Amino acid sequence: MNTNSGAILVLSGPSGSGKSSLIGVIKEHIGDHYFSISSTTRAARDGEIDGVHYHFLDEKRFKQEIEDDQFLEYAFVHGNYYGTSIAPVKQALKDGKLVIFDIDVQGADAVKHRMGDITTSVFITTPSLSTLKKRLSSRGTDAQDVIDRRLEMACREISRMSEYDYIVINDDLDHAAKIIIRVALAARLKVPTLQINEFVQQWEQS
């Protein structure tokens, strides 16, 4: 069955598991896609660009957009708000693109609740907690208290990895990327429930 309705690929996993690096590798191999840029109230890190890495908003504006129902999902994580604007996602799906989300477990729940019939989810993790500790410390972007909070959050996220369609252990970047590319191509074949029902109706009448 052919479909031009687009599809969703959700990537989740602890901070430091390598999601951003993997996205950088796979994007040339998965066809027409839209990477959903999250909005956040946290301060930009060195090298981060507004509108490229995140949409950086102050808390007042973020809360106003919550009230205006502008987010597909949002969450309060590590002392800051993160959220996904719904308008560009709907447009990308209408254009038949694969929409990629890099979001936490809470956000993944919200996306699957609203668009589960076209959503494929992947949980990305390091081989061990000790590996994650080394990665977070070595990148040198966060203070120790922030790292500690991220590790605490990682333990909570790991306990919910069984809720995902696929699990990828990112021990080797190239190998992990090849797995996600295959998953992404398969995700494009998902057909919305509405289209399935329409096909069944047409099939019965012909």
172 to 31, 34, 36, 97, 201: CA distances (angstroms): 23, 25, 25, 28, 46
pTM for this structure? 0.84
Per-residue pLDDT of the chain (206 residues; tens, 9 = 90+): 555 679 999 999 998 999 989 999 999 999 999 999 989 999 998 889 988 889 999 999 999 999 999 998 888 887 899 999 998 999 999 999 999 999 889 889 999 998 999 999 999 999 999 999 999 988 777 788 888 989 999 999 999 999 999 999 999 999 999 999 999 999 999 888 888 999 999 999 98
pLDDT at 73: 87
- The sheet that has 71-77: what strands, in order across it? 55-56, 39-40, 80-85, 71-77
Angle between helices 144-158 and 129-138 (to 10 degrees): 150
Give the pLDDT score at 106: 87
Q: Where are the domains of the chain?
A: 7-36+97-205
Q: What is the pLDDT of residue 4?
A: 62
For 7-36+97-205, the fitting CATH number among 3.20.20.140, 3.40.50.300, 3.40.190.80, 3.40.190.10 is 3.40.50.300
Residue 191, pLDDT score: 86
